[in-house]
A and B are shown apart, each in its own frame.
Chain A
Amino acid sequence: MIEVRIHGRGGQGNVVAAYLLATAAINHGDHALAFPAFGAERRGAPVAAFVRMAKQPFRRRDQVAHPDFLIVQDEALLHVPGILAGLKPGGGVLVNSRRAASELGVEGTVQTLPASELAVEHLGRPMPNAPLLAAFLLLSGALPIDALKQAYSERFKGATLDANLKLIDATAAMVEAGAWQETADAASA
C-alpha cells in the first residue's frame, strides 16, 4: 500500500490533488481512498490531504500517520512544524520550488519542481497540481501517466483540460523517471 500526504494551502487545490491521484489509481483498477486531514478550512491556511492506494482492496479509514511520500504544494510550508512528521525512513518528499533540493535544508530524499512557474506558463494561474502529480507518478512509477490524464479528463474539460494535459507532458521532460521506484515498490509489496 502506498500512502501519500499532500500539504498545501487552502485554495491551492489540496484536496483536489488527492482526489485526482486516487481517481487515477481507481481508473487503473487499483483500490484507493483520498480524504482531507481534519483541519481548518480557510483560504491560505496550511491544509493537508491523504491518499492510500493499493493493488488489493482495503477498508481502513484512519488518517495516514506514516506516509511513504509527501507532496508539498508550497515550499514555505517546510517551515511549519510537523510537515515532515511520520514520513517513513527513506520516504520521498516532492516540493514545489524553484530551488535545488539541496538548498531546501530538508533531510531525506527530496526532489523539487518549479510547479507554480510551469502552471503559470501553461494555465496562466499558479495551480501546481498537474506538474506535481505528474512528477510524483513519474518518480515513483506508482501509476502510468495516462491514468492521471484520464483522471484530469473526468474532472476538467475544454481549454482547461487541454492546458493541464500539455502541462503534464511538459513536466515529464523535467523529471528523473523511476528515481523513487524502489521506495514505491517496497511500499506496494
Chain B
Amino acid sequence: MRQALEGSQAIARAVALCRPNVVSAYPITPQTHIVENIAKLVADGELKCEYVSVESEHSAASVALGAAAAGARAYTASASQGILLMCEVLYDIAGLRIPMVLTCANRAVSAPLSIWNDHQDSMAVRDAGWIQLFCADNQEAVDTTIQAFRITQDTDLPVMVCVDGFTLTHTLEPIDLPTQDQVDDFLPPFVFARALDPRKPLSIGTLATPEWFTEARHSHHGAVLAASDAIVAADRDWQQLSGRGCGGLLQVDGPEDARIGILCMGSVVGTLQDAREAMPALPSARIIRLRSFRPFPAQALREACSGLDQVVVLERALSPGATGIVGAEVRAALYGVANAPRVQNVAAGLGGRDMPLTLYAQLIELAQAAATTDFAILDVELDKLPAEDRYPEAAVAAVSGDRS
C-alpha cells in the first residue's frame, strides 16, 4: 500500500517483514531512527525478535555474528564511526561466511566530524568481503532490504545495504510497503546448514596456517564474484512478485545513442535524472547507476559503457593521495577494452554538501573538456582555503597526472 513514510521507518518495517530472530544495534546518527523503530516494533509486540541493546558497534556486530552462527536470522545497522568500530568483526563475519544483513546509513567519517552523508564509511570496509548494494531511493531501500535477506541465505555471504544518510534515512516520501504474505512468499524460512549445534560440536574461525589461508581467501573471493547471479535472481523474483525491480547489478537510463555517460551510486541518481530533463539544451547523458559495488559488476559495466566516448564517474568518497575509489575500479574494468570511453573521475557531495541540479551541467562540461581529470573534487570552494592549501589546478593536475 502506497503511504507516506520516513526512510528509516520504512526500512525498519521492511526488516520486520523479514522476520529477523535477532537484532543487535548501537545507535548512531543517521542510523538511529532505523533501530529505534525496530526496537519499538519489538516493544509493542508487533515483531517477535530478540532485540539486543549493546554498548558499542563492535558488540553489535559480534552479537549478530554469534546469533547468525547459531542459526538465527540476524540484522544490525550502523554508520560512519560505527562501521569503522565494527570493522574487524565485519571481516570475521564475511570470512566465516556468516549470512546476515546490515544497513549502512551512509555518513562521512571523522575528522573533521560530520554527521552528514557521503560514502566514505562503506568504502572503508569495501574489502571486508561483504556484498554491498547501494540504494537510489527509499522504495529501493525497502525492496533491497528484503532482497538482501534472500541473497544472504542464498550465498552464505553477509549483505550491506547502503542507504544515503539523511538524503534517504530522514526523508519522507511515498513508499509501497509490501504485505507480509508477499515477503513470506519471497523469503523462505532461514535455515543455516552450518549452524552451531552442541550435539555436533564444531569449531569455526580457527587458526588457518599458510597451508590453508590462501584457499580460504580464494573461495571467499570466488563466492563474492558468483553472488552476482543471486543478486540478479533475487531482484528478478522480487520484480515478478511486487512489480518493482531495482536494476539487478546496475541500472542504465538514457538515450541509446548517447556519447556521454555519467556513472554514480546511491540517491544522487534522481537529481541527475531530473537535471537532464530540466536542461534539454545540454547533451542527454546515459546515466549508469551501480547498485552492486561488491561484487563489482565489471562485465555489466563494460556493456553499459558500450558506444560511449566519455564516462564521468561521480563519487562520494576518495582515497587521498590516489584518486576516487569507484573511478579507479571503473578504469580498471575498462582497461584494454576496444573503443573504451575516456574516464573522468570526480567526487562531490562530501560530508553532506548539497548536490544541486547544476551538478549535471558541470559533469557534462567535464566530459567535453579536452584535459583528462584523473581525479578532482568537483565542488571544492578554493577561496575558503588559505593560499598554501589551495593546491592550484596545475599542482593537482601534476599530482593526478594530467595527460593532456
Chain B residue at minimal CB-CB distance from A23: B4
Interface residues of B in 1-47 (CB under 8 A from A): 2-4, 6, 29
A58 to B302, CA, bound (A): 29
Interface size on B, residues (CB 8 A): 28
Please tell me if A184 contacts chain B, counting CB pairs below 8 Å. no
Residue-wise, chain A 136-159 has the 8 Å CB interface mask toward B (1 for contact) of 000000000000000100100000
Please tell me if A109 contacts chain B, counting CB pairs below 8 Å. no
When the two chains form their complex, are residues A62 and B271 in contact, meaning their CB atoms are under 8 A apart? yes
A98 to chain B, nearest CB (A): 31
**Which of the segments B66-74, B98-106, B154-162, B168-176 contacts the partner chain?**
B168-176
Chain B residues with Cβ below 8 Å from A34 are 171-173
- The residue in A38, A63, A65 that gathers the most chain B C-beta atoms within 10 A of its C-beta is A38
Please tell me if B188 contacts chain A, counting CB pairs below 8 Å. no
Chain B residues with Cβ below 8 Å from A32 are 4, 172-174
Interface residues of A in 38-97 (CB under 8 A from B): 38, 41, 58-63, 65
Please tell me if B356 contacts chain A, counting CB pairs below 8 Å. yes
Chain A residues with Cβ below 8 Å from B274 are 58-60
When the two chains form their complex, are residues B174 and A60 in contact, meaning their CB atoms are under 8 A apart? no
B269 to chain A, nearest CB (A): 8
**Which of the segments A14-22, A118-126, A127-135, A168-176 contacts the partner chain?**
A14-22
When the two chains form their complex, are residues B172 and A61 in contact, meaning their CB atoms are under 8 A apart? no
Chain A residues with Cβ below 8 Å from B170 are 15, 35-36
Please tell me if B377 contacts chain A, counting CB pairs below 8 Å. no
**Chain A interface residue bracket vs B:** 20 to 34
A68 to B22, CA, bound (A): 46
**Residue in contact with B355 in the complex, picked from A18, A31, A62, A151, CB distance below 8 Å:** A62
Chain B residues with Cβ below 8 Å from A27 are 4
When the two chains form their complex, are residues A26 and B355 in contact, meaning their CB atoms are under 8 A apart? no
Please tell me if B354 contacts chain A, counting CB pairs below 8 Å. yes
Chain B residues with Cβ below 8 Å from A65 are 356
Chain B residue at minimal CB-CB distance from A58: B274
Q: With contacts A18-B172, A38-B116 known, is A61 near B270, CB below 8 A?
A: yes
**Residue in contact with A62 in the complex, picked from B4, B166, B174, B354, CB distance below 8 Å:** B354
Chain B residue at minimal CB-CB distance from A24: B4
When the two chains form their complex, are residues B6 and A60 in contact, meaning their CB atoms are under 8 A apart? no
When the two chains form their complex, are residues B6 and A61 in contact, meaning their CB atoms are under 8 A apart? no
Please tell me if B357 contacts chain A, counting CB pairs below 8 Å. yes
Chain A residues with Cβ below 8 Å from B275 are 60
A62 to B267, CA, bound (A): 10
A26 to B4, CA, bound (A): 6
A62 to B115, CA, bound (A): 17
Please tell me if A4 contacts chain B, counting CB pairs below 8 Å. no
When the two chains form their complex, are residues A61 and B356 in contact, meaning their CB atoms are under 8 A apart? no
B273 to chain A, nearest CB (A): 5
When the two chains form their complex, are residues A38 and B352 in contact, meaning their CB atoms are under 8 A apart? yes
Chain B residue at minimal CB-CB distance from A26: B4
Residue-wise, chain A 96-113 has the 8 Å CB interface mask toward B (1 for contact) of 000000000000000000
When the two chains form their complex, are residues A31 and B166 in contact, meaning their CB atoms are under 8 A apart? no
Please tell me if A167 contacts chain B, counting CB pairs below 8 Å. no
Chain B residues with Cβ below 8 Å from A23 are 4, 172
User: Can you report 19 residue pairs joining A to B where beta carbons are below 8 Å apart?
Assistant: A19-B172, A22-B4, A23-B172, A26-B3, A26-B4, A32-B4, A32-B172, A35-B166, A38-B166, A58-B270, A60-B357, A61-B271, A62-B271, A62-B354, A62-B356, A62-B357, A63-B354, A63-B356, A151-B4
Extra pairs beyond A58-B270, A62-B355, A65-B356 (7, CB < 8 Å): A23-B172, A31-B174, A32-B174, A33-B171, A59-B270, A59-B274, A61-B268
Q: Which residues of B contact A (CB under 8 A)?
A: 2-4, 6, 29, 115-116, 137, 166-167, 170-174, 267-271, 273-275, 352, 354-357
